[in-house]
Structure 1
Amino acid sequence: MDTLRGEGIFADAWNKEFRILRGAVDPAGHLSSAFIEQKLDASLLRWPYFSVLRHGAVPPESAYTRSRDVIGHQRPGFPDAAAVRRLMSAGGTLKLNQLSDWHRPTRTVVEELQAAAPVAVASYVFWTPPESRGMLPHRDASHVVALQLEGRKEWQLYAGAQQVRADAGLDVDAAHPTHTFVLEPGDVLYLPHGWPHDAVARDGDSLHLTFTLTEPTPDDLLEALGRHLLDADPGLAHRFHTTTLEQRTEHVRTALLAHTRHLDDDTWAHAALTAMREVTG
């Protein structure tokens, strides 16, 4: 993903404006619909590493999974390939979740993105049939990088001043899109944090790979500070039972104030990012 750095996503577009990089990646270096077909038919792929969506609705897991015999034991959650294909023929999108856990090329991109910015990265694949969408107009609590791998997908953005927010949500006014464009194979899209959007497959199936890039929130930083404090002063946790509640709050306040004065910003941010990346990775 050196192309992203070279084209300025992290240099001058980051959290300011969306950007489309035409023909920036070689789709052959990533997964394909044929590869996914193989995983549906013969692999150990299990729910929730895959799911099916249609216009924001999620059918029950039982509608597209089955049990399999694994070394003499019946295990649930494996793809029912025929059922998945039936749902897709009716407009359902096949979604692969946290692809980087089991697909090395995607894991490499995740590592490169995390080296380029202070973010935790999650990876998803959307295989959408013609004239369909997997998700309703929505807002992610993260930055988004999307790589179009097969087919064409029409995106609409709803980036009005009142629509871009910090939190994820479906409360998007989709009546007046601010931008409309189509991604072709090899194109890369960057969306800043919280930009509402949706996408529809055009002129055939569409396959795209999405990365969500999440920066530490105030909650993440506070959790990291608390963990760092307790690691540095384990007595706060081990001796609290010998004090009154009033003494306990005073001890924690004093320790916290002293700790924050000596904890440099880089160490603090690194602690938060490490915890976030352990969850997403």
Structure 2
Amino acid sequence: MAGHPEDFATNYWGRRALLSPAAELPAAGFADLFSLEAVDELLSRRGLRTPFLRIAKNGSVVGDNQFTGPGGAGAEIGDQIRDDKVAQLFASGHTVVLQALHRTWPALVDFSTQLASEAGHPVQINAYITPAESQGFAAHYDVHDVFVLQVAGEKHWTVHEPVHLDPLRNQPWTDHSQAVADAARDQQPVVDAVLRPGDALYVPRGFLHSAKALGGVSAHLTIGLHTLTRYLLIQELAALAANEVDLRTALPLGFNPGDPAQLAPELEKVKALFADHLQTAAPEALAARLRRRTWSGNRPAPLAPLAHAAAINNLAIGTTLQARQGLNHHLTPGTAGTPGTAGTPLRLHLPDRTITFPADALEALTTALSGTPFKVGDLPGLAPEDQLVLTRRLMTEAVLVTGPQ
């Protein structure tokens, strides 16, 4: 977006919409990320299946059976995209929505990996391709923040203030559909502009928005950041409360949960017990739950299985390696053993598992996971032969990959 990143983080993130004309952005358009030619390739040659495609017109989503079918001999799966059916629908004014491009289009796979790593929030990317003078969806709000990148054509965007501030994922716009319609009709928009190729627009979650293509085919990317919230911390703290015996105590026999008079004394007990739980909750326990819940939101940089297996076999002192981009991880230091004690191992927490290493590998592991390429043999604190064992283990776990040689 236009301006300094710190200004955006302080003054716009989650608070205000921001329109950034192409002239104010450092890059000349977004052709390196996506194009209309990419749309045709995905729809005709990549064997896409649902739910990687949605089709809509005037707010109504078309049933999958209208644009899917078997893929032919050897690929009889019935939900593959039919390019001829998509062409018919698009020609009749329907909007094509390519979903989860952060998993299917190489340039956007790499872009989303880097963005998620820097932003700290899971990223998804969709593309909306709209025929001339058509509108795919009426005014609505999203439950995640959105960056709009105009790729081709022109689209008129209208953005209004929220009717429900900072909605959670279980609070969709349809819960407030009348208020959304009234605000879109009666309120002054905060953004009322035509986006052209190279323009960008930031729409915080909850802000109402709608868009209509103008004189030609329009294509834009929506980069959605699935915002992590304080409410998420409350949810996980409540889950940790299951370890509190007094909170697991059964309510009295004959209890009527719909009676406020019966509920009141139990509620007071729960408030007191939960307050004690909050006072004693350990950040380490909460972090462990959050790792399991959030780290799977984005996958790390793609790994070529055959080439990676060959690199493990060929690993030697002097090989250049680096941490796999976008792989969430956290190191918990261990303790060295003393006479008569074994100490505790160093723990490397990954999205789906935890692996252990000797405590004295901390300095070497910290360097290896820093993101800076290094040569096996140059890690601090371990002999070259021990580095070879360590890095082979990390490559086998898909934590390290080959770096620039």
Unpaired runs of at least 5, structure 2: 252-268, 300-405
Q: Deviations over 1:191-226 (max 9, x none)?
A: 122100000011101100001222224553344336
Partners of 1:121 and 1:65 lie apart in 2 by 27
Q: Which amino acid aligns with 1:211?
A: I
Change (3 A) 1:141 1:147: same
Aligned residue pairs total: 267
Unpaired runs of at least 5, structure 1: none
Which protein is richer in strand relative to its size? 1
Q: Deviations over 1:165-216 (max 9, x none)?
A: 5243142122134131011111111112210000001110110000122222
Shift of 1:4: 7.1
Q: TM-score, normalised by structure 2?
A: 0.57
**Residues 11-20 or 139-148, more deviating:** 11-20
What is residue 210 of structure 1 aligned with on the other side?
Answer: 222
1:33 aligned to 31, 36, 39, which one?
36
What is residue 88 of structure 2 aligned with on the other side?
Answer: 86
Q: Which amino acid aligns with 2:193?
A: F
Partners of 1:270 and 1:107 lie apart in 2 by 27
Share of identical aligned residues, percent? 23
What is residue 318 of structure 2 aligned with on the other side?
Answer: none
**Contact 1:158–1:197 at 8 Å: present in 2 too?**
yes
What is residue 175 of structure 1 aligned with on the other side?
Answer: 185
1:263 aligned to 263, 266, 282, which one?
282
What is residue 290 of structure 2 aligned with on the other side?
Answer: 272
What is residue 194 of structure 1 aligned with on the other side?
Answer: 206
Question: What do you get for the CA RMSD once the two structures are aligned?
Answer: 3.4
Change (3 A) 1:228 1:106: farther
Change (3 A) 1:162 1:79: closer
Shift of 1:86: 1.0
**Contact 2:116–2:298 at 8 Å: present in 1 too?**
no
1:185 aligned to 197, 206, 223, which one?
197
**Contact 1:46–1:78 at 8 Å: present in 2 too?**
yes
Partners of 2:165 and 2:281 lie apart in 1 by 36
Larger CA Rg, structure 1 vs 2: 2
Q: Which amino acid aligns with 1:157?
A: V
Q: Which has the higher contact order (CA 8 A, sep 6+)?
A: 1
Change (3 A) 1:257 1:215: farther
Partners of 1:134 and 1:267 lie apart in 2 by 44
Q: TM-score, normalised by structure 1?
A: 0.80
Q: Does 1:65 align with 2:68?
A: yes
**Contact 2:129–2:220 at 8 Å: present in 1 too?**
yes
Partners of 1:212 and 1:270 lie apart in 2 by 25
What is residue 49 of structure 2 aligned with on the other side?
Answer: 46
Partners of 1:157 and 1:51 lie apart in 2 by 23
